């Protein structure tokens, strides 16, 4: 479990002086859940993610993962960025096997090869990153992070730069690979629909300073059951698309959108 208590972050800048990015954030993320963060630009979603990953030290408050305070990065915590951070001289296979290359852990090599197959890149495994589409590059990055076996994965708008159809594909793909090992995921997005399709919970943040103003749990009947290997990407993609037209889903989307509008109003 991730426990965030009274977390604050302040920056001292030369142009704007003291900038309060986060104030008094309180949040719990249970094991194996997908929690999505939404809110207006500048509400501290990405800052919170960097603190969770251990890339940034908080000004105040604490973050505990499994009861231990976070101090710096850790292999148990993987990060998927908006832009794929692939090594350009490595093939898809070598990028995904990166953890095995440094650890020598054979289980990570097996996991890498299974994930390449799972995300539909078996036919492209020997290609270099520049030979891939944007969606294929992002699949490679997700597979590489998960092949290392992290228990926690932090994703910073990983599908934000993709076209709508590729975004749909990657949403379905993420749920399929999550079902494989069920890591705990904190997912930042600007899309309310995406947050509701992927998340067990949606956390709405306000800006000026960044803080949590509402948490919305997605009811079980509005979540597509995903069992490992049970549903193809194409079938799951169709089910997710159909779900967005369900009256309950539409009502929940309106509820979260209204919360975000309120978040803008309190800036």
What are residue 78's DSSP bridge partners?
A: 153
At a CB cut-off of 8 Å and minimum separation 6, what does 90 contact? 98, 128, 129
Flag whether 196 is in a domain: yes
Flag whether 19 is in a domain: no
DSSP E strands, the chain: 2-13, 17-29, 34-38, 60-65, 68-69, 77-80, 152-156, 184-188, 201-206, 211-217
pLDDT tens digit string along 233-262?
888 899 999 999 999 999 999 999 998 887
CA distance 150 to 27: 21
Tell me: do 160 and 250 sit in the same domain.
yes
Q: 208 lies in which domain range?
A: 27-56+66-76+152-222+233-267
pLDDT of residue 252: 96
pLDDT tens digit string along 213-230?
999 999 999 998 887 556
pLDDT above 90 covers a percentage of the chain that reads 61
The tokens for 136 are: 């294929």
At a CB cut-off of 8 Å and minimum separation 6, what does 177 contact? 115, 118, 119, 142, 143, 146
Count of structural domains within the chain:
2
Tell me: do 44 and 156 sit in the same domain.
yes
Tell me the pTM.
0.93
Tell me: do 70 and 96 sit in the same domain.
no
């Amino acid at each position: 479990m991730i426990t965030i208590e009274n977390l604050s972050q302040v920056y001292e800048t030369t142009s704007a002086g003291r900038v309060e990015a986060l104030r008094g954030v309180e949040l719990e993320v249970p094991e194996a859940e997908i929690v999505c963060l939404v809110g207006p630009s500048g509400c501290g979603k990405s800052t919170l993610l960097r603190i969770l990953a251990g890339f940034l030290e908080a000004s105040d408050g604490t973050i505990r993962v499994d009861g231990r305070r976070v101090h710096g990065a850790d292999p148990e915590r993987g990060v998927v960025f908006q832009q794929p951070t692939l090594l350009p001289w490595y093939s898809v296979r070598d990028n995904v096997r990166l953890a095995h290359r440094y650890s020598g852990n054979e289980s990570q090599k097996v996991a890498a090869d299974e994930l390449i197959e799972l995300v539909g890149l078996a036919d492209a495994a020997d290609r270099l990153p520049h030979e891939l589409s944007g969606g294929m590059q992002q699949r490679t990055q997700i597979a590489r992070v998960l092949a290392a076996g992290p228990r926690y994965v932090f994703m910073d708008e990983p599908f934000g730069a993709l076209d709508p159809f590729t975004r749909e594909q990657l949403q379905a793909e993420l749920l399929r690979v999550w079902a494989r090992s069920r890591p705990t995921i904190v997912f930042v997005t600007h899309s309310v629909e995406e947050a509701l399709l992927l998340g067990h919970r949606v956390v709405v943040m306000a800006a000026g300073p960044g803080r949590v103003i509402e948490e919305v749990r997605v009811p079980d009947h509005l979540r597509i059951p995903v069992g490992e290997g049970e549903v193809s990407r194409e079938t799951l993609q169709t089910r997710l698309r159909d779900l967005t037209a369900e009256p309950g889903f539409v009502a929940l989307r309106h509820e979260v959108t209204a919360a975000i509008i309120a978040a803008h109003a309190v800036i």
